[in-house]
Structure 1
Amino acid sequence: MNQLTTLDASFLHAEDADPRANLAIGGLAVIDGPIPDHDLLMSTLARRIGRCPRFAQRIRLRPFNLGAPQWVEDPRFDIAHHVRRVALPRPGTDQELLRVVADVMSWRLDRSRPLWEIWVIEGLVDNRWAMLMKVHHCIADGIAATHMLAGLSDSGIDDSFARRIRAAKEAAEESETKSRVTVPSLNPLTWVSGLWRTSASVAAGVAHGARGAGELAVGLMRASSTSPLNGPITSLRRYSAARVSLGDVKQVCQEFDVTLNDVALAALTDSYRSLLTRRGEQLLPDSLRTLVPVSMRSAASFDKTDNRVSVMLPCLPVEEESAVQRLRLVHSRLSKTKAGGQHQAGNTFVSLANAIPFALTAPAVRLLTRLPQRGVATLATNVPGPRERLQILGHTVTAVMPVPPIAMRLRTGVAILSYADDLFFGILADFDAVPDIDELARGVEAAVGRLVASSKRRQRRREQRRLSLVVSA
C-alpha cells in the first residue's frame, strides 16, 4: 500500500499539534570491536536499506487533504543525507552515548525527504561503537521498526526472531480480522459498501468492544490525579536505559504465574512509585494511568512496514507498597483491561476509520490530537526482539535499546525490548520535567532484583516444606 492509513497519518497530525513534539522512534545498537571502514559501512548500508522501500520514499500530501498522504519515490534520495557520523567526547562513556541519543531524538525529521536517519557513533569505551536508527512513527510501529533494524544486520530480514515470532502468531491466531482495509474513493456508493463490509466483519466484537470503547474514552478525557508526568513538554529530551537478565525475569514469571509483560510493568510501576515519592506526590490508584500499545499485527503482516496497533489504558498500582502484591495487581488489572475489550475497541475504530475517505476522517483526527489530554500519565510499550545476537559486518551487537517518542502531554515514555539474554528498558523524557531520569532507570533494575529475590525466597520455602514432609514421613 502506497497510502498512509488513518493511524499512520495520525502520528503526523500529533506532531503538527505541538511544535515541541517529535514523533520519531529509535533503536540503539551497541556493537563490539573497531568501527568498520567508512566506505565499506556506507556501501553495506546502502545495499541493505534497499530491502525496505520506505527508506527511499518521502511523503506527498494530497491537495486540501482530499486523499490520504502517499509514499512516493524521492528523486533526490542520497544515503549520505541520512547516514550521519559523530564521535563521543573522551572518554566515551555510556552516559555520553545516551546524551547523544537524547540530542538526536530532540529534533524532527525533514518531511521533504525520507523520514529516517542512521547515526554511526564512534569513540565508545572498551573498543565499542554504536548505531542509532531513527524512524518516524508514521512509517512503522515498534515491531516493524525492530524488523527494519534487524534488516540492517548480516543475517538480514531472515533473522530467526522474525521467523519465530511469525510462527508463534500463526499458532495463536484463529480468525483474526484484519485491522485495515483498502481506502476507498470518494464515491459514496464505494465507501458505504466498504464501510458495510468492515462493519460486518467486526460485528461479532461490537458488543464486547462497546464497553472497552467507553473505558478508553473516559480514560482519555477524565483528568487523573495531578501528576508531574502529565503536562506541556519542551523540545529537548533526556534518555536513559535499564538492562536486566531475561532469565531472571522468566524465573519471576514462572514462580508467580505471570507474563513477562506483567513483570516489566510491575518493575516500571515500582520505579515510578519511588520517583513520585521523592517528589512528595500523593500516590493514588489513578496516579499512573498508562497508555499500553497492543499489537494487532497478524502473522501474514508481520514483515509489513506500517502501524498495526491498538491501545489499553490500565492504571498501574503505584499506590501499592508490596512488590509482590504490586506484581499481582498489575497482572489482574491488565487481565481485566484486556477482558474489557479496550484493545478490540481501538482496533475496531481504526478499521472503521480506514473504511471512510481520508477527507472525512482527517479533520476529526487533527482535532483529537489537539485536545489537551490529562488522563494519561505515561507510555509503556513492549516489543519482542531478536533471540539471538545480531552481527553487523562481522561485529557482535551486544545491546539493543529502544527509544520511544513523547507527545500529547506525556513527559515520559518507556519502550521495553527483549534481545538475546536481556530485557532492555529505553526511557525518553522531557528535559526539564524529568532531570532524575537515570534514577528512574536504576529503579527498574532494582525492582526486578527485588522480585527475583522474592521468587527465590518462595522457592526455598517450598523446598524446605517438601524436605520436612520427606523427613517426617
Structure 2
Amino acid sequence: MSEFVSVTEAALLARDQPTQPWQQAFVLLLAGGLSRAELIARIGERIGYAPRFRRRVEGWPIAAWVDDPTFSVAGHVRQQRLPADQTLEQWLADLLTDPLDDEHPLWQAVLLDEVAPGQQALVFRCHPALVDGYDHVHLLQELLDERPTAQIGPESSWEPQPAPGLGAALAGLRDPLQAAQGVAGGLFGLVENAVRTVTLAGRSAQLAVAEVELAALKVVRNGFACTVHDVVLALVTAGLRGQARRLGRTLTDPVALVPLAVSEPAVLESAIGCRIAPSWLSLPVSEASAVERLSAIATLTRVRADSGHSVRVPELVELAGFAPPTLHAVTAGSVGAGRAHQVLVADVPGPQRARYLGTALVEEVFGCTSLTDAEELSVAVTSYRGRVSLAAMSTRALDGWADDLAAELSTLLKEAR
C-alpha cells in the first residue's frame, strides 16, 4: 500500500545529497557463517513486517512511498571479502560516502567475509527516513531471533500496488531538496528549520569504534550516584577533549544533540512505545578533571530525569525483536528539529541475551550515522551482551578515540572505588 511522504520524512530525505550522503549503518559481527542465499531467504521471509523496505520515493513536491515494481531482495544484498589493506572501520567509512540508489528502496545489505579469522560481518545501511518508530520499524529488528533458527519459511507473498495519482506534472521530479526550495511555505513545503542548514559540499569522515564493559560503567554509576547514560556522555566528552588536544585546537564546550526516549500516552501504541525527543546540552570538554566532567553532565541530565517523562532503560531493552537499529534510525531523524549542534550522541540500549541471524551467533554490534549539517562528530552508542560499543564518525582524525575512552573510564573507576 502506498502512502504519502510526511513533511518530517521529506525534510530528512532532503539531507541526503550525492556530494554528502546521509545514511545510517548497523553492523553485526557474526560467528558461524551465513551465505548470501541464506540472507536473501531470511529477508524474503521477514520483509513483510517492514514493508517500507520494498518502497521507493516517487514524485516531488507531493511525494509518496510507492511499491517498487521491480523490487528484488537479491538486488539489495551483496557479498564480498574485506580488502586486505583496509580495516572494517576504514571500509565502512568509505561505503558511507556512496549514495544509496534512489531509483529503488533506500537500503543495502553487505555480507563482509574475513573481517577476522572465523568472523563475518553483516553491514546494513539505510536512509533513516525509512523508519519512524510508529508504523515502520527497521528491517533488522525483524531478522534476529533469540535462538538459532535453521529452517527458513517461504518468502512472504507480495504484489506491488500502483502508485497514488500524483499528476503527470510531478512524474519527473525526484529531488527533495529542490522541491523544498521550490515550494517552501506551501501546503506541501518542508519545515524551514529542518532544511535550512543542509550541507551540499562533500566532507570526508573517519570512523572509529571503541568497546567497554557495561559492568564497568555500572560501577562508575554506583560510585557517583549518576546514570550509565551520564558515564557514556563523560566518555564521549573525553574523546572530544583528546581529539582537540592532539589537533592543537582550543578546548571549547560543543553543543550536543542527545535524543532521549520520552513517554507520552499518545505514542504508547507505537512500535517502540515511546517518542524519541531532541535534547541538547553542552559537553564540558574544557573541564580538566574527569570527575568534574561527569558531575557537570549528571547535573545537566538530571533535569530531564526529574521531569518524570524519560523512559526507563529496561523498557527499551525488552522491546520485541532486535530494537537497536530501529531506535538508532529514529534517533538519527531527530536532527530534523533544526537546532544547530556540533555533536550527535545516540545512546541506545540493546538486549543482554544473545541473538541469532539464522544459525549464526551475533557476537558484537555497533551502529553509525553519517554526518549532516555542521556536525563534526556523531557517536552511536549500543549495548549488547554486557558490552557497550561507541562508534564515532568525525570530520577530523580519530586515531586516539579508543585510548581516550579507556583512560577516562579507568580514571573514573579509580575514583568510584
Q: TM-score range by the shorter chain?
A: 0.7 to 0.9
Q: Secondary structure at the match of 1:14?
A: coil
Counterpart of 2:400 in structure 1: which amino acid? Answer: E
Show the 5 A alignment for 1:435-450. 436-450=397-411
Counterpart of 2:402 in structure 1: which amino acid? Answer: A
> Identity across aligned pairs (percent)?
25
Change (3 A) 1:428 1:146: farther
Residue deviations 1:315-336 (CA, integer Å, cap 9, x gap): 1111111111110100112234
Q: CA deviation at 1:241?
A: 0.6
Residue deviations 1:411-443 (CA, integer Å, cap 9, x gap): 22111111111111111223xxx1x21312332
How far apart, CA to CA, are the structure 1 residues paired with 2:89 and 2:240?
A: 20
How far apart, CA to CA, are the structure 1 residues paired with 2:89 and 2:360?
A: 21
Question: Which residue of 1 is the match for residue 251 of structure 2?
Answer: 283
Cα pair 1:141 1:308 within 8 Å, conserved? no
Change (3 A) 1:7 1:234: same
Q: Secondary structure at the match of 2:250?
A: coil
Change (3 A) 1:381 1:45: same
How far apart, CA to CA, are the structure 2 residues paired with 1:148 and 1:255?
A: 39
Question: Which residue of 2 is the match for residue 86 of structure 1?
Answer: 80
Q: CA deviation at 1:408?
A: 0.3
1:135 to 126, 141, 149: 126
Q: Secondary structure at the match of 2:210?
A: strand
Question: Which residue of 2 is the match for residue 302 of structure 1?
Answer: 271
Residue deviations 1:165-215 (CA, integer Å, cap 9, x gap): xxxxxxxxxxxxxxxxxxxxxxxxxxxxxxxxxxxxxxxxxxxxxxxxxxx
Asked if residue 262 in structure 1 is aligned to residue 261 in structure 2, the reply is no
Cα pair 2:144 2:356 within 8 Å, conserved? yes
How far apart, CA to CA, are the structure 1 residues paired with 2:21 and 2:72?
A: 23
Question: Which residue of 1 is the match for residue 416 of structure 2?
Answer: 455
Residue deviations 1:34-59 (CA, integer Å, cap 9, x gap): x3333233222221223210111111
Question: Which residue of 2 is the match for residue 32 of structure 1?
Answer: 31
Show the 5 A alignment for 1:38-437. 38-62=36-60, 65=61, 67=62, 69-90=63-84, 96-140=87-131, 148-155=139-146, 234-284=202-252, 287-296=253-262, 298-303=267-272, 308-336=275-303, 375-430=340-395, 434=396, 436-437=397-398
Unmatched 5+ stretches in structure 1: 157-216, 222-230, 344-367, 457-473
How far apart, CA to CA, are the structure 2 residues paired with 1:143 and 1:424?
A: 26
Question: Which residue of 1 is the match for residue 9 of structure 2?
Answer: 8
How far apart, CA to CA, are the structure 2 residues paired with 1:387 and 1:3?
A: 37
How far apart, CA to CA, are the structure 1 residues paired with 2:251 and 2:133?
A: 30
Q: Secondary structure at the match of 1:300?
A: coil
How far apart, CA to CA, are the structure 1 residues paired with 2:224 and 2:300?
A: 15
How far apart, CA to CA, are the structure 2 residues paired with 1:243 and 1:144?
A: 32
How far apart, CA to CA, are the structure 1 residues paired with 2:296 and 2:66?
A: 47
How far apart, CA to CA, are the structure 2 residues paired with 1:103 and 1:20?
A: 13
Change (3 A) 1:117 1:235: farther
Residue deviations 1:441-466 (CA, integer Å, cap 9, x gap): 3322322222222212xxxxxxxxxx
Residue deviations 1:326-378 (CA, integer Å, cap 9, x gap): 1010011223467799x9xxxxxxxxxxxxxxxxxxxxxxxx98x9x8x5221
How far apart, CA to CA, are the structure 1 residues paired with 2:378 and 2:126?
A: 16
Counterpart of 1:248 in structure 2: which amino acid? Answer: A
Residue deviations 1:226-277 (CA, integer Å, cap 9, x gap): xxxxx99634432111100011111111121111111100111011111112
How far apart, CA to CA, are the structure 2 residues paired with 1:143 and 1:416?
A: 22
Unmatched 5+ stretches in structure 2: 148-192, 311-334
Counterpart of 1:295 in structure 2: which amino acid? Answer: A
Residue deviations 1:265-303 (CA, integer Å, cap 9, x gap): 01110111111122222223xx31111122357442135
Flag the structure with larger Rg.
1
Cα pair 1:415 1:426 within 8 Å, conserved? yes
Cα pair 1:380 1:415 within 8 Å, conserved? yes
Change (3 A) 1:296 1:273: same
TM-score (norm 2): 0.73
The count of residues paired between Structure 1 and Structure 2 equals: 340
Q: CA deviation at 1:73?
A: 0.9
Change (3 A) 1:313 1:403: same
